[in-house]
Structure 1
Amino acid sequence: MAAELTRRSVLALSAAALLPGPPSRVRREHHRVIIIGSGYGGAIAAYRLAEAGVRSLVLERGRRWPILPGGDTFPPFLAPDRRSSWFTPAPVYPGMPPTVYRPYAGLFERVRGDGMDVITGAGVGGLSLVDGVMLQPDGDVFSRVMPAGVDYQEMADVHYPRVRARIGARSIPDDVLAHQRYAPTRLFLDQAARAGLPAGRLDEACDWSVVRAELAGTAVPAASIGEYLTGINSGARTSVDRNYLAWAEASGLAEVRPLHVVTDVAASSSTGRYAVRARHITADGDLVEELVLTADALILAAGAMGTTRLLVRARDTGALPRLNDQVGLHWGNNGLRLYLRALIPEPTGAYQGGPTSVAIMRWSDPARATTVEFGPAPFPVETHAMPVPGIGLCEPAGRFTYRPLTDEVRLTWPSTADAVAQASIRDTLRTLVAGTPSPGPQPPLTGIAVLDGLLSAAAAAPYGLLDMNALEPYTFHPLGGAVLDRACDLYGRVHDHPGLYVLDASLIPGSTAACNPALTVAALAERCLDTLVPADAGTVF
């Protein structure tokens, strides 16, 4: 019954968004530049435009998530509440314990697809609120997956370092790594070394001085007890709402409007080139007003799911009929595969210290490049278990289609498109396990049913490795749909649409070279804006 009510509510909200509201409730405005989305691409665009003296309006569907002194901004992973999901009555993030609550403008949405579901974020700052691994790809692997016109050396010399500096990405310091909370992190590195696997530290969008304060008892314990997957309540996460976007707002040239859900984009028949229809809502989902906004330039930065679905709908409904047939193609899951490893002989610790800071980086064969990370978890007891997500290479074989009967744009993903990633991740994990030959104890029960079920399944799986994506296909790393040199030029200009830009993960054809996407998405936005701002500001818009 709850699921049916949710489905009806979503359909009602969708229908309401497409119907013209009463004239008194429709606000009409014109802006020089409108940016849809406030994650890496949107925040960087707002900052770079403000730096050039260009005003912009940033529309973000989610709410702000300010760090509160009481340390209760974000919901705990193992005690989810209505802050955990975007207008559903239950959690959508895999592995969260089931519960029921009143729908809310929470952190995560699960976008259902054929063959693949996608977990997306909602909030000012986008997925930077919860995901901060800043891993730079190897050049040879990068060149296998990115268009030839994107020069790796330029990215390595200019754009990757710039993003790391501005976001404040650093690897875990020696003193933090030496702390007892990080014993499982050290264990992962030791096990990799014993297995002959290349491993090391990762850069993280993390203020490690705050983590030190957590360990010293002078800051709310969060990252240091494995609570980082749903945001870091101590304020250790250096998300873009606290740097790029904050700097843009401080300039007075960028306005950010949270809880503004964009439903449609189109060519403007009046002022400006493009029109945007949006719904301003409360955090409980009540309609405040509808807006019809026009702009000289429109920057889509709503992520590979949000941006692509807007563009496919606009093309196939005739709102932007000249969009080419490459829009909606070349999507991939970044070769992401999530495993839970059980039966580890050594203690892995309760409340494993995070965020993610170390990984095996097996990149010597560019065709089978693989990264396997240790993803610390807030397990409340010793489990002799570790989450070990892996990333490999995939074919950008996903595609989006518009279904007019339901006004839905739906992703289709063939299960064989990440077969190479699956095999290389599995091989790396089995090599890791083989380097630790003694069988471990049965994982003890935690008292949390969903976690106990996963631990038992992992203990029963071959090598003690539970492939969680074999249970349900999903990804946190959607990439593609409006790809460089296909739907767009090499700098994010949408073909045949002056003033229309894409500046997010939609530009990347399915894979960020066996690495987490965040650093490459941000660096690519910086690279595009290095060309777009001087060339188009003052001429195109």
Structure 2
Amino acid sequence: MNDDSPRGTGLRGVSRRRFITGTGSFLGSAALAGQLTPAHAATPAAAAVIEPGAHVPALVIGTGYGGSVAALRLAQAGVDVHMIEMGMAWDTPGSDGKIFANTTSPDHRSYWLRTRTKQPLSNFLGFPIDKDVPRYTGILDAEEMGGIIVYQGRGVGGGSLVNGGMAVTPKRENFAAVLPSVDAAQMYSVYYPRANAGLGVGTVDPTWFETADCYQYARVGRKHAQRSGFPFVFVPDVYDWDYMEQEAAGTVPKSALAGEILYGNNYGKKSLQKTYLARAKATGRVSISPLHKVTSVAPATGGRYTVVIDQLNTTGGTTATKTVTADRVFFAAGSVGTSKLLVRLKATGALPGLNSEVGKGWGDNGNVMCGRANHLWDPTGAVQSSIPCSGIDNWAAGGAFAEVAPLPTGIETFASFYLSITKNPHRAQFSYNAGTGNVDLNWQTAWKQPSIDMAKTIFDKINAKEGTIYRTDLFGTYKIWGDHLTYHPLGGAVLNKATDNYGRLHGHPGLYVIDGALIPGNTSVNPFVTITALAERNIEEIIAADL
């Protein structure tokens, strides 16, 4: 049973929910204190975008995991919320009848303000596969920052629109290294279960898995892992597994089995639009302005904040600039978006009270990718589910957890493909460049070498055992490792450093960080369940203590 109703003072009475699974098996009736104005009556979520001169009790910058949690729990506590989202709403089908483009056929919907695609796999069978596309506010941002490309979701729902949905709770023994100032017992007894339930996490039916053609690639990955002595684990996901089985049976339109993942999933994935955001909007207290970008937050009279927002068109141009006031502002623009905005606001004097920790502690979750060329007797299948369901766990011994990833090309490739998460120690810093007016990141590609070395503890051994080799045609010409990217940006406004232990920014009461910027660079697994659980913890305390 889902119980999202606040009880008593604050939200401390929210019931516990069943803990879905971990890696091993693979928010009161009053409003916030001070100047946070109570909502007097629930009204339907506004369809209109935010108006110049508006006053909002709570303004949330971003609609990803942290922002969606904050919006829902604030609304349930009786607070009107307005969410600002730089990307589109993604609720209108294109000329093909579908909202999202297919992974194998990227078009104008696929990339955020690029004129050429920037695919994670840039080559296939020796040929470059990127292509020209019209400039458009598409769903995937491939943001190039010095030595790394950071892939981020753009739209209402943030990263939940473009990830593979792998909903992994870190092993308890690894948690202290992730968030040392957070009570692990509380996280594992209350907030991880709450996050898993709110996200709709589930695991593939192992019996169906054994015979499903679309997971032949994962069964091959399992065989090779186990023959080399590595633990193979089923990994939870937010895909509707019943829908996927119907896809395989041919009774519903195909989505995961049509290779949809990188540029959105049209049917089966339980993105935030279907979970937290749907419930937030159903309260009647949450409004969302898509294609709006916050450019400034500064103190105003009476303890409020003045927020400047640009309204965008679908080619990225500014069509209007609006100034509004907010009682409280929640930064939830993702690790990169939140960090860059805070660094700029501190450096330009808009928020001078922010401390020196803002911009620090950024990491890539140790992401590195590779492929292996299997023998002809180990085909991985022409039809592959784009939703991964399994991984290889060598974290304790080698510092790597490898997702057995799909390669949904529609043809037999005899290839196994992996996204590894590693214990990479390197952390980068965002800094304001007064000459260009940009915020730069000092990440260096060479810092990926520890990740490669850790991933090799798995794949060198498998190759030796199986007599196989690495693929060299996926990331360039004769290049084995995808060491140029991350799907999992974390840090830049680290918990208990740039903020207090619940995300309150130092120096400016009423400003909060509630997204992946709080997590210092690594979660040991795919991070969005941890981001969600931490947001649940923090917003509950903020509502209770700041009432």
Is TM more than 0.5 here? yes
RMSD: 2.2
Code of the residue aligned with 1:73 in structure 2: it is I
2:121 to 95, 106, 112: 95
| Residue 322 of structure 2 corresponds to residue 302 of structure 1 | no
* 343-352 or 474-483, larger mean C-alpha shift: 343-352
Cα 1:67–1:130, aligned 2, differ >3 Å: closer, same or farther?
farther
Rounded to whole Å, the distance in 2 between the matches of 1:245 and 1:502 is 18
Tell me the CA shift for residue 374 of structure 1.
1.1
Corresponding residue for 1:143? 176
| Pairs within 5 Å for 1:190-205 | 190-205=223-238
Rounded to whole Å, the distance in 1 between the matches of 2:220 and 2:389 is 13
Corresponding residue for 1:232? 265
Corresponding residue for 1:467? 481
State the identity %.
Answer: 36
CA contact (8 A) 2:491 2:521 kept: yes
Rounded to whole Å, the distance in 2 between the matches of 1:415 and 1:289 is 38
CA deviations 1:289-338 (Å, max 9, x no partner) are 22111111000000010000000000000000111110001111111101
- Indicate the SS of the match to 1:380: coil
Tell me the CA shift for residue 360 of structure 1.
0.4
Code of the residue aligned with 1:151 in structure 2: it is D
Corresponding residue for 1:483? 494
Corresponding residue for 2:142? 110
CA contact (8 A) 1:397 1:414 kept: no
Code of the residue aligned with 2:107 in structure 1: it is D
Cα 1:67–1:195, aligned 2, differ >3 Å: closer, same or farther?
farther
CA contact (8 A) 2:60 2:82 kept: yes
Rounded to whole Å, the distance in 2 between the matches of 1:218 and 1:65 is 25
CA contact (8 A) 1:271 1:294 kept: no
CA contact (8 A) 1:92 1:109 kept: no
Corresponding residue for 2:511? 500
Code of the residue aligned with 2:433 in structure 1: it is R
Corresponding residue for 2:543? 533
Tell me the CA shift for residue 407 of structure 1.
0.9
2:362 to 327, 331, 336: 331
| Pairs within 5 Å for 1:148-159 | 149-159=181-191
Rounded to whole Å, the distance in 2 between the matches of 1:348 and 1:332 is 32
CA deviations 1:84-104 (Å, max 9, x no partner) are 111111113322632223211
Rounded to whole Å, the distance in 2 between the matches of 1:504 and 1:184 is 33
Corresponding residue for 1:179? 212
Code of the residue aligned with 2:152 in structure 1: it is T
- Indicate the SS of the match to 1:169: coil
- Indicate the SS of the match to 1:389: strand
CA contact (8 A) 1:265 1:310 kept: no
CA contact (8 A) 2:388 2:404 kept: yes
Rounded to whole Å, the distance in 2 between the matches of 1:95 and 1:271 is 51
CA contact (8 A) 2:381 2:414 kept: yes
* 220-229 or 312-321, larger mean C-alpha shift: 220-229
Rounded to whole Å, the distance in 2 between the matches of 1:153 and 1:418 is 33
CA contact (8 A) 2:405 2:419 kept: yes
| Pairs within 5 Å for 1:373-452 | 373-415=403-445, 417-437=447-467, 439=468
CA deviations 1:208-256 (Å, max 9, x no partner) are 11111211212222212432222222x2111111111111111111111
CA contact (8 A) 2:140 2:162 kept: no
Rounded to whole Å, the distance in 2 between the matches of 1:103 and 1:157 is 46
- Structure 2: runs of 5 or more not aligned: 1-49, 123-128
Rounded to whole Å, the distance in 2 between the matches of 1:26 and 1:381 is 50
- Indicate the SS of the match to 2:54: strand
Rounded to whole Å, the distance in 1 between the matches of 2:137 and 2:228 is 45
Tell me the CA shift for residue 285 of structure 1.
3.4
CA contact (8 A) 1:181 1:225 kept: no
CA deviations 1:419-446 (Å, max 9, x no partner) are 4332111111112223323x48x99xxx
Tell me the CA shift for residue 413 of structure 1.
1.2
1:519 to 510, 514, 529: 529
Corresponding residue for 2:37? none
| Residue 402 of structure 2 corresponds to residue 372 of structure 1 | yes
- TM-score, length basis structure 1: 0.86
Code of the residue aligned with 1:260 in structure 2: it is H
Tell me the CA shift for residue 344 of structure 1.
4.1
CA contact (8 A) 1:393 1:418 kept: no
- Indicate the SS of the match to 1:431: helix
CA contact (8 A) 2:491 2:518 kept: yes
Rounded to whole Å, the distance in 1 between the matches of 2:102 and 2:375 is 26
| Residue 70 of structure 2 corresponds to residue 45 of structure 1 | yes
- Indicate the SS of the match to 2:323: strand
* 258-267 or 88-97, larger mean C-alpha shift: 88-97
CA contact (8 A) 1:392 1:421 kept: yes
| Residue 160 of structure 2 corresponds to residue 128 of structure 1 | yes
- Indicate the SS of the match to 2:217: helix
- Indicate the SS of the match to 2:326: strand
Corresponding residue for 1:82? 108
- Structure 1: runs of 5 or more not aligned: 1-24, 444-451
CA contact (8 A) 2:297 2:345 kept: yes
Tell me the CA shift for residue 286 of structure 1.
4.6
Code of the residue aligned with 2:172 in structure 1: it is G
2:474 to 454, 460, 476: 454
Tell me the CA shift for residue 49 of structure 1.
0.5
Tell me the CA shift for residue 354 of structure 1.
3.0
- Indicate the SS of the match to 1:157: helix
Tell me the CA shift for residue 60 of structure 1.
0.5
- Indicate the SS of the match to 1:128: helix
Code of the residue aligned with 1:331 in structure 2: it is W
CA contact (8 A) 1:71 1:220 kept: no
Rounded to whole Å, the distance in 2 between the matches of 1:294 and 1:432 is 57
